[in-house]
Structure 1
Amino acid sequence: MAQENTTLPPAKELLDQVREKIRFKHYSISTEKTYISWIRHYIVFNDKRHPADMGAVEVERFLTYLANDRHVSSATQNQALSAILFLYRDVLALDLPWLNGFERSQKPKRLPVVLTPLEVQALLRESSSAPEPVGLIVRLLYGTGMRLMEAVRLRVKDVEFTRQEIIVRDGKSGKDRITMLPGSLLEAMHRQLAIRREWYDEDIQAGKADVWLPDVLAVKYPNAPREWGWQYIFAARKYSIDPRSQVARRHHVDEKQVQRYVKKAALAAGIVKPTSPHTLRHSFATHVLQAGYDIRTVQELLGHSDVSTTMIYTHVLNKGGKGVISPLDNL
């Protein structure tokens, strides 16, 4: 455990330092909120002592509390550990031997939930009653294999109608990739862009056409935030306050709205499998493999760094238990 240090900043000031470091590293606003929440929880759990005055014992006790008392999943426990390690290494700049001694909880290996083509049809039919652009986003998730946040953050310049391509920018691990723009969605996408252009023209008149850009791009291209190409395709109807800049502007649609409608549509369609927007990504990958496309192609479309991640969908394709025919069916 570290020695007592009377010059350490109070917890509130420390959390401000965490925010500054997160923004310096260009982490997302959701990561910022998550890390701040876990670090605050860690400090409060340990009687509001300063983290530099604590060590491996306090961290392990906190993680044990999360697992045994809060019954959190291994993924949530690992999330809390990531926040704590970020605090010590990146904010307090403490290179302590015990930081490397924590093993992350092993996430149980489970097969992804995959809908059948008929279930997808039923879900899309029910989601067609959702207010646009939510219904279009749901169809786009299944039609492209994009993650939910990749879809809601889609910008005008990244949709290529002539080649029917979508460039997914800054996906997981910060990578760009290309996926298809389904021909069946061309007309709907054109309609969405026409509506979006009307809003953009109104925003220009109101002096509120700026959209959020990563800090580096905003500095390099100072006019870009007001340009049409950088606008979110799926923008929110109302302006909102940017939590970082405190500027009122039009953000992208709330991803929670899409999540709610996917769940509602699944229930209405009589789908008993746990269904979320990510289920449509799993279904996309499985159905593309079923159509005969090779695993490497699917890996590129999904943006997986390692093909082993994509290989899990080959297990879903197996008929029954590894393709074995039950002896009951041979009687």
Structure 2
Amino acid sequence: MEKKASFHAKLPNEDQWHEVYKKLGAEIKIRHYSPKTHKAYSIWTRKFQHFMKNKAPDLLTVEDVKAFLTSLAVESKVSASSQNQAFNALLFFFRHCLGREFGKVDGVVRAKRKPYIPVVLSRQEVDLIIGKLRYPYDLVVKFLYGCGLRLGECMNIRINNFNLDAGVLTIHDGKGKKDRTLPLPEVILPEIHRQFDAVRLLHRQDLDQGIAGAFMFDSIEKKYKNAGREFHWQWFFPAKDLTWVPDAGEYRRAHLHDRHVQKAIKSVVQRAQLTKRATAHTFRHSFASHLLQANYDIRTIQELLGHSDIRTTMIYTHTVKSRTIKKTKSPLDIDPSEMK
């Protein structure tokens, strides 16, 4: 660590920060964190750099972090979740890029956590939106709502995530690097089979044209060089157009872009003139709330959503009406037989 510090000390501050960002990217890649995490951590690190007026990385202290986090709450008035994300980003930055531990971070003004109740669509509203969406966006929403998926999880589904014989879908490396298995909605099984046929046809065309196949994880690509050309590794929702990879000098097939799905949903919601603001994530909220309405156990819903903390799932108890009591009564007014 001393050698790294002395090496950095010889560089101008800008060059030191350039090295830090290279290190940040490498450390995130080693741990197989998502591109979104890389982007978020890079953004917060740059904001911290700007706040510290380009101070040399080796001279940064925990007190600097405290000042930055307090500034986010007091001056920038960021949400509690944003402040927590900034804290996690800087914790990673100090630990893995600077080789230093935080220690205690006391005395930070915490951003206020506002009570949040998610927007939930009725089943009729869900059906209305699906009915107005064109292929493949209608099928995407059926997975978002029918399986309670995050949009990123849905876009990353590959053919080998399905076990049609058992009627289940396995989500690999969801948020928090947790795998989970979900029941496939039986009502859309015919559409799933048709999508398999469409992907199979597109895959054959790609092979005939010499396309390098689907984009793959680096670890899989190194171990199985031709994995991207195998059918079971193809995206379930492939992009319409191919992507040119300059470094490799080849075309690859990516999955359908998140932004295209969001745009399609936004357009339909506006045309349907719904009074609610609905996004792709709204269907996941609706999935959880409708299961709760159907008297599913909260722990079961937690597992289906992939929440590590039951408190995250408990928020959906505020989106449905209580069925346990119609009117508040004094215990003296309740028939003893109702308490058994």
Q: TM-score band, normalised by the shorter chain?
A: 0.7 to 0.9
Residue 235 of structure 1, aligned match among 238, 243, 248: 238
Secondary structure at 1:317's aligned position in 2?
A: coil
Q: Distance in 1 between matches of 2:34 and 2:160?
A: 21
Equivalent position amino acid for 2:25 in 1: R
Aligned to 2:60: 54
Look up the match of 2:333: none
Match of 1:112 in 2: 118
Residues 144 and 179, structure 1, Cα contact 8 Å, conserved in 2 = yes
Q: Contact (CA 8 Å) 1:232, 1:252: kept in 2 or not?
A: yes
2:17 is matched with which residue: 11, 24, 29?
11
For residues 307 and 157 of structure 1, the distance between their equivalents in structure 2, rounded to whole angstroms, comes to: 30
8 Å CA contact retained: 1:56, 1:99: yes
Calculate the TM-score normalised by the size of structure 2. 0.83
| Alignment partner, residue 295 of structure 2 | 292
Moved more, 194-203 or 304-313: 304-313
Cα distance in 1 for partners of 2:246, 2:89 equals 20
2:241 counterpart SS class: strand
Structure 1 residues 200 and 39: CA distance shift in structure 2, 3 A: same
In the TM superposition, what whole-angstrom CA distance separates every residue of 1:158-193 from its partner, at most 9, and x where no partner exists?
123333221111112212111122222222222222
Question: Any idea what the Cα deviations from partners look like across 1:101-150, whole Å, max 9, x if unmatched?
Answer: 76864533322221122222222223x2x3x3222101211111111111
The secondary structure found in structure 2 opposite 1:271 is coil
Is residue 279 of structure 1 aligned with residue 285 of structure 2? no
The verdict on how the C-alpha distance between 1:69 and 1:101 changes in structure 2, with shifts beyond 3 A counting, is closer
How far the C-alpha of 1:324 sits from its partner, in A, is: 5.0
* Residue 66 (structure 1) aligned with residue 69 (structure 2): no
**Residues 225/74 of structure 1: CA separation in 2 closer, same or farther (3 Å cut):** same
Instruction: From the superposition, tell whether residues 37 and 308 of structure 1 become closer, same or farther in structure 2 (CA, over 3 Å).
Output: closer
Which has the higher mean CA deviation after the structures are superposed, 246-255 or 85-94?
A: 246-255
**Residue 167 of structure 1: SS of its match in structure 2?**
strand
Specify the code of the residue in structure 2 equivalent to 1:32. Answer: H
Distance verdict in 2 for CA 1:311–1:97, change over 3 Å: closer
**Distance in 2 of aligned mates of 1:291 and 1:92:** 50
Structure 2 unaligned blocks of 5 or more: 330-340
Q: Which moved more, 1:191-200 or 1:134-143?
A: 191-200
Q: Contact 1:200 / 1:209 at 8 angstroms: preserved in 2?
A: no
Looking at structure 1, the residues matched to 286 and 69 of structure 2 have their Cα atoms a distance apart, in angstroms, of: 34
Conserved in 1, the CA contact under 8 Å of 2:239 and 2:254?
A: yes
Change (3 A) 1:309 1:81: closer
Structure 1 Cα separation of the partners of residues 10 and 106 of structure 2: 26
Q: CA deviation at 1:99?
A: 5.2
Give yes or no for contact 2:73–2:83 (8 Å, CA) kept in 1.
Answer: yes
CA RMSD of aligned residues (A): 2.9
- Residues 1:242 and 1:29: Cα distance change in structure 2 (over 3 Å): farther
**Percent identical residues:** 36
1:10–1:243 CA distance, 2 compared to 1 (3 A): farther
Size of the aligned set, in residue pairs, is 321
Contact 1:192 1:233 in 2 (8 A): yes
Residues 70, 103 of structure 1: alpha-carbon distance in 2 compared, 3 angstrom cutoff: closer
TM-score scaled by structure 1? 0.85
Among 215, 224, 228, the alignment partner of 2:227 is 224
Q: In structure 1, give the amino acid aligned to 2:197.
A: A
2:121 partner letter: L
**Residues 245 and 95 of structure 1, relative CA distance in 2, 3 Å threshold:** farther
| Greater gyration radius | 2
